[in-house]
A and B are shown apart, each in its own frame.
Chain A
Amino acid sequence: MNVILFKLTLLLYLAATAGYLVYIISQQKPAGRVALGVAIAGFFFHTATIIVRYYEAGYAPVTNLHESLSFFAWALVGSYLYIHLRYKVKNLGAFAAPVAVLSMIASSTLPKKIIALPPVLKSYWLPVHAIVYFLAYGILAVAACAGIMYLIQERQIKKKKFGAFYQRLPSLEVLDAINYRCLTIGFPLLTVGILTGSLWAEQAWGAHWQWDPKETWSLVSWLFYAALLHERLAVGWRGRRAAIMAIIGLGALLFTFLGVSLLLKGLHTYAGWGV
């Protein structure tokens, strides 16, 4: 059942992405409205997918790579919808939706079979730790999308060369506000993610911190975002630098999420597909 819902979600996301691309090219408002509607429908089905899988598996579906990528996409779409509705910012969807779709496609190619949970993951920390982390990933991915848009728009205004994106992208100030908003939500989540992870590690492995690659990299990305937030608040860093930081930060997060699991082995690797 959850697999059928998953496929339906993927189809809706594909349609929404197509709609957003049509909108950014044609600038016909109805296309944008339809795309948003389809994205909301997709998010609804995605939520159902996750709930159904939770009941079918008996644990929070954030354990293997298929589940994780899907959950990441869910958090991303949710964050996007929140930011879109709050800032009424146009064409953010054309940047965020493709990322969600890519994550969903990657997820769809991976084994979807529900398997018994390894004993080490059987803990009430699993849903808290993993879900909080993915929510942070989702909202910080939106920050990176806004960052890319900021860099494109800033370059046009600075160089006084106005291309096709000039009319289509929102103002610099709005994009920067989104960056800040996402950071103030994403960073606390990231912090909670690390703390719960540490508590869980203490319970499961007997030590709060063991410097395995996953832990090291999540600390690196946490420090990175901490620096960005600090500079923003203290010195008023904003604009281009904040946008670049948001993009690099997401890179560090994605490496923590995927790179470490696939390239470097460590305690977080379960059956080759760990998170």
Chain B
Amino acid sequence: MPDGASNLSIVLIGLNHETAPVEIRERLTFGGDRELPFTLIRKIPLVTEFIFLSTCNRVEVLMTTPNPANAEMEIKKVFTESNGIPLGDFERCLYSYHEEEAVKHLFRVAASLDSMVLGEPQILGQIKDAYRQAADQKTSGVILNRLLHKTFSVAKRVRTETGICSHAVSISFAAVELARKIFADLKGKRAMLIGAGEMAELAAEHLISNGVAEIVVANRTLERAIELAQKFKGRAVSLDEVYDQLSKVDIIISSTGAPGLVIHYDNVKSVMRARKNRPLFLIDIAVPRDIDPRTNEIDNVYLYDIDDLKGIIEMNKAERQKEALRAERIVEEAVIKFKYWLQALDITPIIVSLREKAEQIRLKECRKTLSNMGSLTPEQEKAVHVLTASIVNKMLHDPITYLKGKSSREHKDIYLDFARQIFNLNGEPADTDE
């Protein structure tokens, strides 16, 4: 890769949540100006193509450059000068990856293998935004365009072929996931929030987005209940009305600050007949607990407290870790394929494969024709070969001279990529995902 006729290196420099504390990361935001880093980095002559990615967990610059060491220095200078932060403060947090390592890092980030919460889905969207911006600003070229498209397809493969995103790792998601294993479909189901805390609110949002028909909010202060109910277009009730609601709702999320139990065993037991035994899913995220743990013993009642949910999350995290190993394999594979493509941007392999392709076609056609012509003398046969070979050589002469002539040009990778496309010379084996 480094000795490709392109002489360009792929370099990724940046920092993330693991290398830099938030005090550093929050100082590298370019004052929130999304244009500024582009304007500044574009002015660095050593940077041929680049993409700038900034999220709350990472700041990274991906670039191609003929001189990695100096280009990195220039990038650091942009970081210090425009953010007003001395290099000494953050230099130790920086990592830089070159060539395959840079490609691999990008793939891993996009596949959410480098995220704080393994498998979280936002990062891919953030990379897509960063790429769109770079494409708009025309700071990405042949190599990065190709690299980013590969990145997106790797991330997609990881998501569909591994379970890295499929196990809930937050309390509210875990609760919704459980609800969907109890109730076939949350459409038409009713949920009640007892206590209007933040976590209850989050869970209610997930329930709504999964189709729950109505949210009933019960709270000690009715104002807050009304406020929250309005947000979810639901109904507010007072705490005394909770027991009437027991026979009507299907999911209860309780998170009051009450010192004792709010829902007792007998409250639930006595409504099951009126409910005709329709399942009741109780989620108790309060500490101390709001719902009598014994309610779980009642048929068709399922009670989960905060520790149960945390247990599920721990289990799911372990599951994601396992899936991450499979994801890493997909990434490795993609890195190797990308390397093939990069190598094929070199001028010599293109000429070689162009000649090989032409020769193969010539031989195949000769064989076909000769076998149809019946008996020819060896001299005649040889003459046919000489004729076809010289046609092929004359045809290829000009394109090859043209390509060789471009080999010292600055943007020769464009010509090379173009040539590969025109002659359909696939540098990478079995690339079918386009």
Contacts and interface: CB of A to CB of B under 8 A. Distances in A.
B296 A158 contact: yes
16 contacts: A157-B302, A158-B296, A158-B302, A162-B312, A166-B181, A171-B182, A172-B183, A173-B182, A173-B183, A173-B185, A174-B184, A235-B273, A236-B276, A236-B278, A239-B277, A240-B299
Contacts of A265: none
Interface in A162-199: 162, 166, 170-174, 177
Interface residues of B, number: 22
Contacts of A235: 273, 276-277
A237 interface: yes
A172 B308 contact: no
B210 to A, nearest CB: 13
Given A160-B312, A166-B181, A170-B184, 8 more contacts: A162-B312, A171-B184, A173-B183, A174-B184, A236-B277, A238-B277, A238-B300, A239-B299
Contacts of A238: 276-278, 300
B149 interface: no
Interface residues of A, number: 19
B315 interface: yes
Contact of A172 (B273, B279, B311, B312): B279
A157 B277 CA distance: 17
A230 interface: no
A153 interface: yes
Q: Which of A166, A171, A177 has the most CB of B within 10 A?
A: A171
Interface of B: 178, 180-185, 273, 275-279, 296, 299-300, 302, 304, 308, 311-312, 315
A171 B185 CA distance: 9
B328 to A, nearest CB: 21
A33 interface: no
The 6 closest A-B pairs by CB, nearest first: A236-B276, A173-B184, A174-B184, A236-B277, A171-B184, A239-B300
Contact of A237 (B183, B277, B308, B311): B277
A162 B184 CA distance: 18
A171 B184 CA distance: 5
A120 B182 CA distance: 52
Given A157-B178, A235-B273, A173 B279 contact: yes
